[in-house]
Structures are given as C-alpha cells and as structure tokens.
Structure 1
Amino acid sequence: MEQHFEFLRKHPIFESFTDEEIEQALVEFDYKIQSYKNDDIIVSSGKIHKYSAFVLEGAAQIQKYNSDGVREILGRVYSDSIGWLITAAPRTTHCDIEIVSHGESTILFLDFAKIKENDYKKIIIQQKLLKNLFVLFEEMDLRSLEYKIVLSERSIRKKIMRYFEFREKRDGSSSFCIEGSRQDFADYLSVDKSALSRELNKMKKDGLIDFNGDNFTILQKL
C-alpha cells in the first residue's frame, strides 16, 4: 500500500481525509490494489462484481459488444482526471459491460457493501466517502450525458464536432490529444474507421480543424 499512498492522497474519493483515515478506510472496506497490462480485463462482462473500482495509475476503458459482435467504447477513465471512478456500487446482477486496462494501469477496489454496517467508529469515514462519491457520481452522469448527445448526432461530422466541443470545454483549450487509436475513436463514435478518416480529412480541408496524428485543434465552430 505504501508505494501507492501518494496516489491515494490525491484521489478524489479520499478528499479531506487524513492519512490515518485513508488507512482506516482501506482496511474497513476490504481494499485491493492490482496492476494490469494493456487489454487485461478488469471487470468481466456477464459476471457479478463485488467491488467498486478506481483508477490510481494509467487508464481503463469501458466497452461492450452489441448483438452483431461490434465493440462499442463507452468511455475511458484516467488517473489524471476527475473521472477516476470506473464502477459505482457493487452489483447483485450480472454486469453487461466490460472494463479493460488501456495501457498499463493500477486499480483500487473497495467493497462499499460494508458502508451499510452500523458502526459508530466508521460514521465519519462513511460520511466523507458518501460526500466524495456524490461528486464523482455527478461527473459520471455528465460524461454519460455527453456521450449520449454525441451519439444522437446523425452525421459523422456533427458527431466529431460535438465531441470536440465537449473536449474543448473540459480541457479549457481548443487543442487536445485523442487518446487511443483511430479505431478506438471510431468505436467511441460508433462509426466506420475509414468513414471517420475521410471525414476528418474533409474537415481539415474545409478549415474546420487541424490535426497531426492524435493531436487536434479546432479552428472554426461547426
């Protein structure tokens, strides 16, 4: 645990916690810290998972496969953003999504079922955890809403620009990097990779955007 303590101190789930409270929370909620390599499965589809999961280092990708076997990327969670929360509460039914490591990652697991235990010694820790979880839930809801808005656009160009619009607001800059491969970006937008590449090149030619590899800049609003 000591090697990860600096990451734990910075994690929003432990906002306003003392070091002693962090240690107590980890023990009380039966923590696990595990490392994964690229594409390793963190949470399997079709299984019941007991723990809530948080990214300490690296990134995790949330995805699912539709009835045709086509992968849909629902989002990514990075250690350097507020979206550290991957899964919310323990499930009593089977999970229909899959979470895999995007590159190398380190994941913290906590068993929040124990938050129901009525122990006065845990009240302060539970109150702080619930407050911090509420903030993370709000961020998750916002990202989920953004994703639905992106997919609601009918043309590839509008999907791209809507996503870029959200990225510009989130990053506070008209220039940003699209993480992952071009295929990952196509899967996220639920479009064909070749069609995405053609549209990006058209948008560059039209002076709407500029890009070099994975680095994009918005030049004009759609």
Structure 2
Amino acid sequence: MNFDFISKTALFRGCSEEDVQKMAKHLDFKTVCYKKGTTIYEEGNITTNIGLVLSGSVQIGHDDFWGNQSILSIVKAGGVFAEAYACIPEEPLMIRVAANENCEILFINVPKLFLPCTACGVQNRLIQNLLTISAQKNLQLSKRSLHTSPKTIRGRLLSYFSQLISEQGSSKIVIPFDRQQLADYLNLDRSALSKELGKMKQDGLIDYRKNVFEIKKANI
C-alpha cells in the first residue's frame, strides 16, 4: 500500500506517512482493484466505507426508473466517494459508482473514525478534512445544477465552458468527459449535443479536437 501517496490526498491532508500507517489498522484499510465498467456500488446499497481512489478513476451517476443515465461527476486518483452515505450508514445510496477505467480503491471504515484511539490528533484532522470534502462536493452539485438550468443546449454548454475556463485559467480547455458522458452530465441527448457543438463551431463560437476545446470569447 502506497502510504506516501495516501498522505498527500485531500482526505489525509496534514497527515504524515507515519500517521497514515497508524490509522490503517484502526480504520480497517482494505484495497480492491476493479476493471473498467465494473460496478462498485449500486443504487440502494448501504455502506459504512469511504472509497479513496488510489489509481484510475470512478464515475458517479444516477439511473432513473426508465434507465436514463445521468453522470454527476468523475472521481480521479486522490479523490473520495460515498463519504456522505458512509457517515449515515442507514441511508441507501442514491448514486451508482462504477470504474471509469481500471482502478484501485482503498476502502476506509467511517464509524471507526469516531471511536477513540491512540492517534486522536490524526482522527481530528481526518474529520476536519472529511467535512471540507463534503462541502466541496455540495458546491460541485450546485455547479452542475447551474449548468443544467438553461433551457437550450447551447446555454448549458456555454455555462459549463465558462466554469472550465475559470478553473483552468485559459480559453483553451480540456473537458474530462467523452461525448456520451458530457451529454449525461448536462442531461442532454448525445446526438443533439453533437449537432449543437457542430453548429457552434460553424458559428465561430468554438473550435475543438476530441476533448480539447478553444472558446472564441470575441464571438460569444
């Protein structure tokens, strides 16, 4: 287990490699490898474990009654998932978690995080980090709701592009989704999305190659 990498993640921010080793036994660290497309958590599952992505990435989504899929986020190496549900273990998951690519996941038992141990200072740090991560996740969901609120496809795309420009500090941005994932994230039909992207390119609003987009601010 790569304790050095774990100590550098947001969940263990402020903890040394030795601190992580101390907590490994107390929190029942367990690593599992998944192949791309494998389901990690189904909607309706109950869990007491946080998942920390050690390598690869996972996709957080939701399937409605009719089988329509929505992508909420992609969690890359160093990120965590299911933290809110692990803190409320009786609450069934309303999300689906699947391996976005081959990945290795570290599962951490949350109830034990609140039990006394000899490394209470480390525990307090983890609890603070967990609260920060949860707040950041809420902000991410709020951002997504802003992107899906415009009535037009173009409006949703421009809203999302604007966020990425701000985050990446450039009008040339990299989108972390393929076309189907982007359509799911913005609650759009893939063919309609592709058609609108083509129109925006013809109109001189954007240029793109695969998932690298250049936004033409002067034309927007």
Per the normalisation by structure 2, the TM-score is: 0.92
CA distance in 2, matches of 1:35, 1:45: 20
Q: CA deviation at 1:152?
A: 1.0
Instruction: Provide Cα deviations, 1:138-180, integer angstroms capped at 9, x if missing partner.
Output: 2212211111111111110010111111111222222222234
CA distance in 2, matches of 1:106, 1:73: 21
Q: Which residue, 80, 84, 95 being the options, matches 1:85?
A: 80
What SS does structure 2 have at the residue aligned with 1:75? strand
CA distance in 2, matches of 1:169, 1:108: 31
Q: Which residue, 97, 107, 110 being the options, matches 1:109?
A: 107
Q: Which residue, 4, 8, 21 being the options, matches 1:6?
A: 4
Q: What is aligned with 1:155?
A: 152
On the 8 A contact 1:54/1:87 being kept in 2, the answer is no
Counterpart of 2:38, as a letter, is D
Q: What is aligned with 1:50?
A: 48
CA distance in 2, matches of 1:172, 1:132: 26
On the 8 A contact 1:54/1:108 being kept in 2, the answer is yes
What SS does structure 2 have at the residue aligned with 1:140? helix
Asked if 1:210 is matched to 2:207, the reply is yes
Instruction: Provide Cα deviations, 1:47-67, integer angstroms capped at 9, x if missing partner.
Output: 111201121211110011112
Q: CA deviation at 1:6?
A: 3.4
Instruction: Provide Cα deviations, 1:170-200, integer angstroms capped at 9, x if missing partner.
Output: 2222222223431111111111111101110
Q: CA deviation at 1:123?
A: 1.6
CA distance in 2, matches of 1:176, 1:26: 38
Q: What is aligned with 2:72?
A: 74
CA distance in 2, matches of 1:93, 1:86: 15
Alignment of structure 1 residues 180-195 onto 2, 5 Å = 180-195=177-192
Per the normalisation by structure 1, the TM-score is: 0.91
On the 8 A contact 1:207/1:220 being kept in 2, the answer is no
CA distance in 1, matches of 2:119, 2:154: 51
Q: CA deviation at 1:106?
A: 1.5
| Structure 1: gaps of 5 or more residues | none
Identity %: 30
Q: Which residue, 36, 41, 54 being the options, matches 2:39?
A: 41
CA distance in 1, matches of 2:41, 2:58: 10
**What value does the CA root-mean-square deviation take over the aligned residues?**
1.6
For these two proteins, the number of residue pairs brought into alignment is: 216
Counterpart of 1:71, as a letter, is Q
Counterpart of 1:69, as a letter, is G
Q: CA deviation at 1:107?
A: 1.2
After alignment, is 167-176 or 58-67 more displaced?
167-176
On the 8 A contact 1:63/1:72 being kept in 2, the answer is yes
On the 8 A contact 1:42/1:100 being kept in 2, the answer is yes
Asked if 1:165 is matched to 2:151, the reply is no
Counterpart of 2:206, as a letter, is I
Q: CA deviation at 1:115?
A: 2.1
Decide whether aligned partners of structure 1 residues 163 and 58 sit closer, same or farther in structure 2, where only a CA change above 3 A counts: same
Instruction: Provide Cα deviations, 1:76-109, integer angstroms capped at 9, x if missing partner.
Output: 11126xxx12121412122121100111111111
What SS does structure 1 have at the residue aligned with 2:173? strand
Q: CA deviation at 1:73?
A: 0.8
What SS does structure 1 have at the residue aligned with 2:104? strand
Instruction: Provide Cα deviations, 1:33-55, integer angstroms capped at 9, x if missing partner.
Output: 11111111111222111201121
